[in-house]
Amino acid sequence: MAIDYDRLMAREFPVVRHRYDPKDVMLYALGIGLGHDPLDEQQLRFVYEENLAVFPTMASIMAYPGLWSREPDTGLDWEYTLHAEQGMKFLKPIPISGEIEAQTRVTGIVDKGEGRGAIVYTERTGIDTATGDALFQVFHTTFARRDGGYGGPSDSARPPAAIPDRAPDITCDLPTIPQQALLYRLNGDPNPHNVDPKAARTSGFERPILHGLCTYGIAGHALLRSCCDYAPDGLSSLNVRLSAPVYPGETIRTKIWWQPGDAKAVFQSIALERDAIVLNNGEAELKG
């Protein structure tokens, strides 16, 4: 079944409600590596009940629509879809408990042509059901590798942030542990590629890989640590391309470049042991 452009653009997603409590807040932070230095009191703020705060990238998993590309009405060959880009805007601090609701919508589809795939853009806004406040926006890009050439618009894809050709202004190394994917999956992402060696090999990986959203959270940790002194509301936005998988146990080095005249930075993350770029063309907007 090929993509039907008008049908997919108009697809109505269900409203998803996500209830959470302080235990969920701490589990997410542990899942992306917060607390790896138990003597760092700034990290403890996200993993300990005393003065607890929500790590901002937790919004990426809230009111998540699930693997909607598997649904037959999308026209997507879901086994050949990839999570290509992730972006967020942080509008207000997230309370440490409550309920978030969101409804995903398709905002754009780019037909790259036969044999070149298609790009599907979606977004959702997280609403605090207790107050009605919009807390965050999540932007997700799916690369549908086998779905190009269906006759849809071929407008150019959104341009990525440019990485400077010079040494970074800041470098931040953060560890992952061999059990990182086993821990992170408890946030609600049970994909077998992240835990089952056989499933990982079937998909072409030598062993289970880390969730892309976990790597995204680790980059958020690097930015919040290096540029915001761990202020929970220090980020305004965080956008990046997911370019390669991480294997649990690797060290993630995030290279950060300040943008002249703006409270903005661009960044790139590598798996240090393989010198492999795992996140690229990253851009963060900072508050203050």
Distance of CA 126 to the CA centre of its chain: 15
Count of Cβ atoms closer than 10 Å to residue 139 Cβ: 17
Q: Are 174 and 221 in contact (CB under 8 A)?
A: yes
d(CA 206, CA 277): 17
Give the CA radius of gyration of the chain: 19
φ, ψ (nearest 5 deg) of residue 167 = -65, 145
pLDDT at residue 1 in the model: 64
What pTM was estimated for this model as a whole? 0.93
- Among residues 72, 135, 57, 63, the alpha carbon closest in space to that of 105 is found at 63
pLDDT at residue 262 in the model: 74
Domains located in the chain, CATH noted: 5-144 (3.10.129.10), 170-286 (3.10.129.10)
Q: Are 285 and 264 in contact (CB under 8 A)?
A: yes
d(CA 261, CA 135): 27
pLDDT at residue 84 in the model: 93
DSSP for residue 95: P
- Among residues 87, 86, 20, 88, the alpha carbon closest in space to that of 54 is found at 20
d(CA 93, CA 133): 10
d(CA 34, CA 226): 14
d(CA 212, CA 142): 12
d(CA 2, CA 222): 40
Q: Cα dist. 81→117, 139, 164, 194 in Å?
A: 9, 16, 30, 16
Q: What is the mean pLDDT, run by run of 10 residues, along the chain of 288 residues?
A: 89 97 98 94 95 97 91 86 93 97 96 89 97 98 87 78 95 97 92 89 89 97 96 96 96 95 92 97 91
In DSSP terms, 100 is beta-bridged to 18, 128
Task: For strands 81-90 and 235-242, give the pairing.
Answer: antiparallel
With tokens 């398709």, the residue in question is: 106
